[in-house]
Amino acid sequence: MKHMKLVLSIAMIAMIGIFTACEDDEKSAPEPFANFQYEVSEDNPLEVSFTNASENAESYAWDFGDGETSTEENPVHTYAEAGTYDVVLTATNADDVSTQATKTIEIGGPNLLAGEDSKTWKLYRENTSMGVGPNPDQARSWWSLSNDGSRPCVYKHEFIFHTDGTFEFKDNGVFWGEEAVFEGTDVVATCFEASAANMVNSEGDDVSAWLSGTHEYDYNKESGEITLNGEGAWMGLPQLGTDGESIVPQESKTFSVEIEEHDGYDLMTISYYYNEGTADNVYWDFTYVSYDSWDNEPDLVTEQEEFGEDLADITPDEIFLTFASKDAADMATIDTVASGSSVEFGVENPADATADSVGQFTRTAGTQFQELQFRAAPDPKDIQFDNFTTAKIDVYIPADTDFDGTDLQKHMVFGFADMSETEEWWNSPEQYIVEGADLVVGEWTTYTFDLTATEVLNRNSLDMLYLGLGGGGHTAGGTFYVRNLTFE
């Protein structure tokens, strides 16, 4: 009998285990996913219809952000007054597991972003439409784009915001090959057909999600921010994101926004600000327009006019600049011109106060790409360097220069460029680089550059020389000294 009771007890335990397992299986409902869209009534700007797009849920709880709630699946809610509200939908499955979706909606009064139903925005064809600089006070100071025929395809793109919270991008069959994304490919720096086959980045990744598509957005008027949700949604430049750049499409990106009302049109400026308050700060902003009538949009310039002019040639017998003074005895053929850095002539020699005066080269903190620039004087000319084979300059870098605690780099560049006929002269220079241990600190050092080692002697359009100290791509300041720039 004891043996039979033991067997029965074991069997009962096993059965309980089976029932428990079955019961657990029955409770393993799929995870819920909360999502919704909304539409403001055309007849009543305070009435909003909510469409539930949740998955794997059996019950719903709505918080409309004004103290009112609902458990309906697709409620219609009327607000008491215009304003911005955070609407929260909680979706719960059969196992009582919940997730939430939150959207900020603006109702009542004019919707400057999305209009009464939808609103189309395009890059502004007047003045500059986009650019980059170190901060909002120096916006577009490093580079900017205008409707000049250099990138006509970007002015054809349409960015459409709908009142139901959806965002639509139309590429209209064209795309621009951003160098940061498409470097080394056949489409870099060109307008090309917006096809999936062409949307392959420099690393071979498929970036076709940036092409035409519909996504979602959240607009918080109080904070002045828009968040685009959905792989590939973008405004500004495709690679710009919430916290930095990415050469592949992202799932979400947030940027700042300001909208101004004008007679017959509205302007929207969006911006991305990276590393604010540091030496690496970068500020991108873009201006979009929405016309009451698109007949008022200026014509698109499709071909870029030839930039600049071909300067008269000179072939000097001597070129030098001592930096001791601005007197004729201390300079021949060239002089400094305004640039991102500054130079002061005739300062005390930092290594020997009894020696001849020198030049003080100052990098201004907060400004990038601070080459000291030189051009023919008194009038700009294309300099032919046929009479010379070498260039020399003395440089003194103070021993206490901090190359560790700042972004300053042990880096010097000396180069030649065509400024008068090349809008972005830095894209085709002839230059020499000295860096690392080869750049001496704490004493005067003469650096010699062999002109025959580059194409300097073969180019007939070079009208600018430049000297950079401390490296580029950052905004750290610094003080250096120079003397005796000579050609032999």
pLDDT at 17 over 70: no
From 383, 393, 388, 209, select the one nearest 312 (Cα to Cα).
383
pLDDT of residue 83: 83
Q: What percent of the chain has pLDDT over 70?
A: 93
The phi and psi torsions of 467 (rounded to 5 degrees) equal: -130, 125
> How far, in Å, CA of 209 to CA of 326, rounded?
58
For residues 72 and 304, the model is more confident at 72
How much is the average pLDDT of 12-24?
A: 45
Q: Where are the domains of the chain?
A: 36-107, 118-296, 313-487
pLDDT range class, residue 45, cuts 50, 70, 90: confident
User: pLDDT category, 141, cuts 50, 70, 90?
Assistant: confident
Asked if the domains 36-107 and 313-487 are classified in one and the same CATH topology, the answer is no
**pLDDT confidence tier of residue 474, bands split at 50, 70 and 90:** confident
Kindly tell me if the per-residue pLDDT of 4 is higher than 60. no
pLDDT for res 338: 87
Residue-level pLDDT at 473: 74
Q: Write the CB contacts of 81 (distance below 8 Å, at least 6 apart in sequence).
A: 46, 108
pLDDT at 75: 97
pLDDT value, residue 476: 85
Residue 12 has pLDDT above 70, yes or no: no
Say yes or no to pLDDT of 333 above 70.
Answer: yes
Residue keyed to tokens 């500020």: 283
Lookup: tokens for 103:
């959207």
Dig out the tokens for 313 from the structure.
């040639």
Look at residue 27 in the predicted model and tell me its pLDDT. 56
Closest CA to 36 of 8, 73, 2: 73
More confident residue, 167 or 40: 167
Q: Note the pLDDT tens digit of each residue in 60-103.
A: 999 999 999 999 999 999 998 888 899 999 999 999 999 999 99
Identify the residue with better confidence: 247 or 370.
247
Mean pLDDT of 37-54: 89
Share of the chain above pLDDT 90, in %: 77
Residue 26 confidence class, pLDDT cut points 50, 70, 90: low
Assigned fold of 36-107: Immunoglobulin-like (2.60.40)
What is the phi/psi pair of residue 180, to 5°?
A: -60, -25
CATH no. of 313-487: 2.60.120.430
Q: For the segment 351-392, what is each residue's pLDDT rounded down to a tens digit?
A: 999 999 999 999 988 777 789 999 999 999 999 999 999 999
